[in-house]
Amino acid sequence: MNGTVMVFGSINADASYRMTALPTPGETVIASTASASPGGKGANQAIAAAAAGAVTRMIGMVGDDSEGAAQLAALALRGVDTDSVTTRHGVATGRAVVFVDDSGENSIVVLSGANDLLDGDVAATGLASISTGDVLVLQNEVPAAANRAAARLAQSLGAKVIWNAAPAPTAAADRVHDIDLLVVNEHELKQISGILGIDATGEGPGSSALSALLAECARALDADAICTLGSDGAIFFADGLSGSVAAPKVRAVDTTAAGDTVVGYLAAHAALPMGERLRLAAAAGALAVTRVGASSSIPHIGDVVALPVAPTERTPA
């Protein structure tokens, strides 16, 4: 286990609606159920890190509305330190509307609210105590300039930085420098490769092509890298080796927050070798998709370690 996990990122109030199939443009569908829960990629990843056993601190911003107070209470209930979350007067807390179909797939619309006001000053205040052995986690639901400031400060003080480049960056200005680990899905990997000037058009289909692309991106970023592949597990590039980890076979009912679960578990167990670390995170993500909801689906480590161990394969890159 490493030191404190500090998550700099978004906090949202989630409203989720379940339906037979996601609506197409111009279509109205009837939802079968509705629920509310804490959300935002930052908050979800903080809850996941705490569930994985790490001392976890959330650094973010909420509004002075009822949703903001509710999100802070929910984070604290899941064991996350919220002392570094700022409440901004006259601003709305971030919100998200989540649509989930019967196969577990989702579509999400986010209104940033207070999350859009995070900046380097908030990062500096929240990260004042970060040091060697700690881990900083970043995502793309807050301004890129704030992320870059947080990453630069954390690395200068000896901490490791994980960048979950989600939602997928669309321009070079969205890139975060000073990172130790990149975590993406397949779509985000291809977006990152374009930003880095790496041509992915000739890579072709298949995991071996994705592994080669992941290795190129990792070298360009001077960082380790992981690409999650849903039910197919994940591939990684670390210490000059490419590898893959299978995911436990489960029946998915809701994929919301599965990726955030993986990121939080990776942060909580940064001291483990990459293969072992990713096996644990993949198992946590697989268990999350068997449960309904966003942060409510994130499993405790005691439930995760009871799952069958997924195999790891390594090959020279």
Active site (catalytic) residues = 260
Phi then psi dihedrals of residue 91, to 5 deg: -125, 145
User: Does a cis peptide bond (omega within 30 degrees of 0) precede residue 167?
Assistant: yes
Report the alpha-carbon distance of residue 14 to residue 1 in Å, rounded: 31
Report the alpha-carbon distance of residue 138 to residue 194 in Å, rounded: 20
Phi then psi dihedrals of residue 104, to 5 deg: 95, -5
- Would you give the end-to-end CA distance of the chain in angstroms? 28
CA dihedral 208, 209, 212, 213 (to 10 degrees): -140
